[in-house]
Amino acid sequence: MEDVKQKYTRKKFMIWGVGILASVSFLKFAFAPKKNKNTVKMLSQDGKLVEVDMSLLQSKKRKVTSEELQTWVKK
């Protein structure tokens, strides 16, 4: 009877439980689908935050004037 009790100790149970949980979480992150992060978060005219693909943005960069900024936002 003591031999059976020694086989199934609380310590072994905890070690196996932690090992199984660690392997499951590792597999979850290892086989997760990879997201393509080629997006930029921008503010739309109506004040909503949207994600825009970087390939759709124009490459010419210029500063926005104060007048353009004041007339761009729709209230």
In which band, very low, low, confident or very high, does the pLDDT at 11 lie, cut at 50, 70 and 90? confident
Q: Where are the domains of the chain?
A: 39-72
What tens digit of pLDDT does each residue of 13-63 get?
899 999 999 999 988 888 877 776 788 898 888 888 999 888 888 777 778
pTM (2 d.p.): 0.39
Question: Which residues face 49 on adjacent strands?
Answer: 43
Rounded to whole angstroms, the Cα distance separating 41 from 38 reads 10
